[in-house]
């Protein structure tokens, strides 16, 4: 693009897109992921009763995106675990968060300003993973748009999409809900992001990859930092979805007997009539905030 | 023949047919001792057969899934499948249950258990080598594949039970490891260290020593009918230091925050728990 190349923004975006992710940003990603694992109900007891299962859950949280992408593309699910340094780093983060004496490390990283920095760094990694996933799928399937979208999506959402099986590892089986039925914000944002990146990769979106990475990362950082700081669950996509989805998919009218209640599409919770109660299994976000204080007290 | 050549010759023993036969017999008899397995064999022989195949070849299946190889590749070894199927048929459908009655003769059980441990070691070693051929210098992958190959039937127990119509999501082999799975994990770590040349011991010596260790403790646990693993004290000490696992007094075999092997062996019918359950099952099938 001539315009953005003329501005220094082009160089900034290019430099940003070529920042090395390992080790700093990866460490932040691992810290936030294992922190969210710790917020899950029962995770601390599990770490005391069965450290191995706790470690395995932490590995799923940290590397779930790579496992899922490999499964989709027919590569070895354990392929990414051949990077010994990443695995050792993730293991060290897990150990410090769960077993540091007097819980020092956990208290340091869950101090809100520090946590916001880590959350922002995690979003950098997430967007880079989406871009890498779309790129990788494009190598294998030049015209497979849906393959590219699927790969980018699983890379961005990571463990969330296999949350049922991750919970099964912890001994919890909740088949009545899953991440696709009740999408959390990161999963939904990854879905939209992967569509954008796929359109960019197939040259339908006239923007360079570095610029798209930069802008999408900024968007994700702003949203996620705001949501973490204010402990809010309101999705930034809600206004747009409230406009578009009733048009495309019809609206749910509560008094109507013959209507389907499950609309396929990502906006399940948005099509409820106002005021929207929080959906029943809002997964990590809601569990996080509700149990965080309880866990902080318990962990002390 | 010098004594030092024994480990070398031992490590070159072919598994098929005798050691593999022992593995299949031990696995299928363990399946028969699971609660409800005999009813499944009456209701749906195919489900019972598939369950038996998962017990016998679960390790290959799991490791091929991990390395993105075709999961059905274990079915390609027709001779092994036929042997395992024959064992399955004899164990479940032999008239007057002759096969199981013969097998309840203790020296024979001990021999078969010992031979099964030989196949376990062999599988761990081959799994580690196979993983190394896919990913150079990838320790975790070597440990995982060696572990899966050696203890596969136990690791996929949740899904094998699902074939029989039993779904117990509240526990799994990773949350509460049984003794064979735990010992296989340790073996996989040892073999990975040896393969990456961090452990200064020759491969055939490690195979020999590890097998001797497994066989001795397995036979001891079967003879004394004691379910506590030989590693329990070491585990308790390490667990306390590293992970804050508290040593609970062994008053009740419920869920306790102690080293999990004790409670897991007491609670669930694992393959060491032959004797108590076996008599009940034997009476049931008559």
**DSSP at B38:** H
pLDDT level of residue B231 (50, 70, 90 thresholds): confident
Q: Which residue in A247, A249, A242 sits closest to A272, CA to CA?
A: A242
Before A23, cis peptide (omega within 30)?
Answer: yes
User: What does the pLDDT read at residue B24?
Assistant: 96
> Terminal CA-to-CA distance of chain A, rounded, Å?
54
Domain contains A269: no
Residue B2, sorted as left (phi over 0), alpha (psi -120 to 50) or beta, turns out to be: beta
Q: Can you tell me the ipTM of this complex?
A: 0.77
Q: What share of chain A is helix, strand, coil (3-state, %, to 5)?
A: 70, 0, 30
Question: Which pLDDT value is given to residue A22?
Answer: 87
Q: What pLDDT does A5 receive?
A: 52
Distance, CA of A149 to CA of A136 (rounded, Å)? 11
Distance from CA of B52 to the nearest CA of A (A): 24
Query: Average pLDDT in the B29-36 region?
Result: 92
Q: Check residue B156 and give its pLDDT.
A: 92
Where in chain B are the domains?
3-109+121-243, 254-286
Task: Report the C-alpha gap between B60 and A280 in whole angstroms.
Answer: 40
Question: Across the interface, which of B67, B145, B257 has its CB nearest the CB of A49?
Answer: B257
Among B141, B256, B259, most A C-beta atoms within 10 A, so best to mutate, is B141
Which residues on chain A place their C-beta less than 8 Å from a C-beta of chain B?
46-53, 56, 70, 74-79, 81-84, 87, 99, 168-173
Cβ–Cβ gap A76/B255 under 8 Å: no
What is the reported pLDDT for B192?
A: 96
Q: What is the pLDDT of residues A19-62, one digit of tens each?
A: 898 899 999 999 999 999 999 999 999 999 999 999 999 999 99
Exposed, middle or buried: residue B153 (CB in 10 Å: 0-12, 13-18, 19+)? buried
pLDDT band at A6 (very low <50, low <70, confident <90, very high): low
* CB-CB neighbors (< 8 A) of A78 in chain B: 66-67, 135, 138, 140-141, 144-145
Confidence of residue A87 (pLDDT cuts 50, 70, 90): very high
Indicate the number of domains in chain A.
1
Q: In angstroms, rounded to a whole number, what is the distance separating the alpha carbons of residues B151 and B267?
A: 19
Q: Which domain holds residue A185?
A: 15-237
Distance separating alpha carbons of residues B227 and B257, to the nearest angstrom? 18
* Integer angstrom CA distances of residue A81 from A62, B137, B141: 11, 11, 6
Count of CA atoms in the C-beta half-sphere (13 A) of B211: 26
Do the chains contact at A171 and B172, CB–CB below 8 Å? Answer: yes
Residue A76: which of B68, B169, B171 has the nearest Cβ?
B68
Q: Which residues of chain B lie closer than 8 angstroms to A87, CB-CB?
A: 140
pLDDT score for A294? 53
Contact A84 B137 (CB under 8 A): yes
> Stretch B5-19: mean pLDDT, rounded?
86
* Position A97 confidence tier, pLDDT thresholds 50, 70, 90: very high
What is the per-residue pLDDT across B154-177, written as a single tens digit (0 to 9) for each? 899 999 999 999 999 998 999 988
Instruction: Summarize the confidence of residues A95-124 as an average pLDDT.
Output: 95
Lowest-confidence segment of A208-222, B54-68, B200-214, B225-239 by average pLDDT: B225-239
Residue A227 has, within 13 A of its CA and on its CB side, a CA count of 21
Report CB contact under 8 Å: A74, B68.
Answer: yes
The structure's pTM equals: 0.80
Identity of the residue in A56, A76, A171 whose CB atom sits nearest the CB atom of B134 = A76
Total CB pairs under 8 A between chain A and B: 85
Interface touch B242/A78, C-beta < 8 Å:
no
Task: Give pLDDT tens digits for A131-153.
Answer: 999 999 999 999 999 999 999 99
For residue A128, being part of any structural domain is answered with yes
Q: Residue B143: its chain A contacts at CB < 8 A?
A: none
pLDDT for A108: 94
- On the question of pLDDT at A263 being above 50, the answer is no
pLDDT band at A266 (very low <50, low <70, confident <90, very high): very low
First to last CA, chain B: 50
Q: Is the pLDDT of residue B263 over 50?
A: no
B73 to chain A nearest CA, in Å? 15
Residue B66 to residue A76, Cβ atoms within 8 A: yes
Average pLDDT over residues B120-129: 95
- Find chain B residues with C-beta within 8 A of A74's C-beta: 68
Segment among A146-160, A175-189, A246-260, B22-36 with least mean pLDDT: A246-260
Chain A residues whose beta carbon lies within 8 Å of the beta carbon of residue B176: 50
A57-61: long-range pairs with CB below 8 Å, 24+: A57/A166, A57/A169, A57/A170, A58/A33, A58/A34, A58/A90, A58/A91, A58/A93, A58/A94, A59/A87, A59/A90, A59/A91, A59/A94, A60/A159, A60/A162, A60/A166, A60/A169, A61/A33, A61/A34, A61/A36, A61/A37, A61/A158, A61/A159, A61/A166
Q: In B94-156, where does DSSP find H-type helix?
A: 98-103, 106-134, 139-155
Cβ-count burial of A235 within 10 angstroms (0-12 exposed, 13-18 middle, 19+ buried)? buried
Q: Which residues of A touch B138 (CB under 8 A)?
A: 78, 81-84
pLDDT confidence band for B278 (50 / 70 / 90): very low
Is the CB of B172 less than 8 angstroms away from the CB of A168? Answer: yes
Q: A233 falls in which pLDDT band (50, 70, 90)?
A: confident
Residue A84 and residue B243: Cβ atoms within 8 Å? no
Do A31 and A118 touch, CB atoms closer than 8 A? yes
Of A50, A75, A172, the CB nearest to B260: A50
CB contact under 8 A, A78 and B140: yes
Contact A49 B260 (CB under 8 A): yes
């Amino acid at each position: 693009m001539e315009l953005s190349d003329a501005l220094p923004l082009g160089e900034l975006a290019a430099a940003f897109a070529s920042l090395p992710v390992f080790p700093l940003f990866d460490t932040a990603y691992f810290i936030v992921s294992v922190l969210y694992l710790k917020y899950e109900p029962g995770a601390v007891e599990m770490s005391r009763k069965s450290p191995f299962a706790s470690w395995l859950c932490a590995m799923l949280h940290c590397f779930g995106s790579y496992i899922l992408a490999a499964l989709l593309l027919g590569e070895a699910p354990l392929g990414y675990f051949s990077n010994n340094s990443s695995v050792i780093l993730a293991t060290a983060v897990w150990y410090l968060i769960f077993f540091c004496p007097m819980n020092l490390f956990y208290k340091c990283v869950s101090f809100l300003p520090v946590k916001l920095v880590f959350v922002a760094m995690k979003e950098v990694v997430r967007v880079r993973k989406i871009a890498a996933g779309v790129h990788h799928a494009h190598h294998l399937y030049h015209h497979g748009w849906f393959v590219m979208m699927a790969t980018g999506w699983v890379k961005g959402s990571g463990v969330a999409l296999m949350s049922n099986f991750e919970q099964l590892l912890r001994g919890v089986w909740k088949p009545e809900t899953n991440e696709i039925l009740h999408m959390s914000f990161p999963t939904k944002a990854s879905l939209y992001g992967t569509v954008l990146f796929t359109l960019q990769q197939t040259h339908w979106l006239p923007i360079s990859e570095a610029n798209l990475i930069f802008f999408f990362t900024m968007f994700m950082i702003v949203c996620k930092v705001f949501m973490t700081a204010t402990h809010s669950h309101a999705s930034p996509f809600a206004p747009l979805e409230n406009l578009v989805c009733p048009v495309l998919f019809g609206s749910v009218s509560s008094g109507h007997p013959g209507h389907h209640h499950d609309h396929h599409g990502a906006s399940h919770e948005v099509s409820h009539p106002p005021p929207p109660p929080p959906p029943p299994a809002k997964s990590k976000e809601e569990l996080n905030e509700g149990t965080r204080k309880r866990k902080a007290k318990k962990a002390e | 023949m010098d004594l030092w050549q024994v480990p070398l010759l031992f490590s070159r023993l072919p598994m098929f047919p005798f050691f593999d036969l022992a593995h299949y017999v031990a696995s299928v008899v363990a399946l028969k001792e699971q609660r409800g397995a005999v009813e499944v064999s009456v209701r749906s022989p195919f489900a019972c057969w598939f369950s038996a195949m998962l017990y016998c070849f679960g390790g290959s299946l799991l490791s091929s899934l991990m390395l993105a190889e075709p999961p059905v590749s274990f079915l390609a070894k027709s001779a092994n499948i036929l042997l395992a199927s024959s064992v399955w048929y004899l164990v479940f459908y032999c008239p007057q249950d002759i096969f199981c009655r013969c097998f309840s003769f203790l020296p024979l059980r001990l021999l078969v258990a010992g031979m099964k441990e030989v196949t376990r070691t062999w599988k761990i070693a081959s799994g580690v080598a196979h993983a190394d051929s896919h990913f150079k210098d990838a320790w975790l992958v070597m440990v995982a594949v060696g572990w899966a190959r050696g203890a596969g039937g136990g690791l996929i127990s949740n899904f094998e039970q699902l074939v029989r119509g039993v779904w117990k999501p509240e526990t799994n082999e990773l949350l509460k490891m049984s003794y064979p799975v735990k010992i296989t994990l340790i073996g996989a770590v040892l073999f990975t260290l040896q393969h990456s040349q961090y452990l200064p011991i020759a491969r055939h010596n490690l195979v020999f020593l590890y097998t001797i260790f497994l066989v001795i403790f397995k036979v001891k646990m079967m003879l004394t009918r004691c379910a506590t693993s030989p590693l329990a004290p070491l585990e308790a000490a390490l667990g306390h230091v590293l992970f804050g696992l508290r040593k609970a007094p062994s008053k009740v075999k419920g869920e306790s925050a102690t080293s999990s092997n004790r409670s897991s062996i007491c609670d669930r019918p694992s393959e060491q728990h032959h004797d108590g359950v076996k008599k009940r099952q034997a009476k049931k099938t008559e």
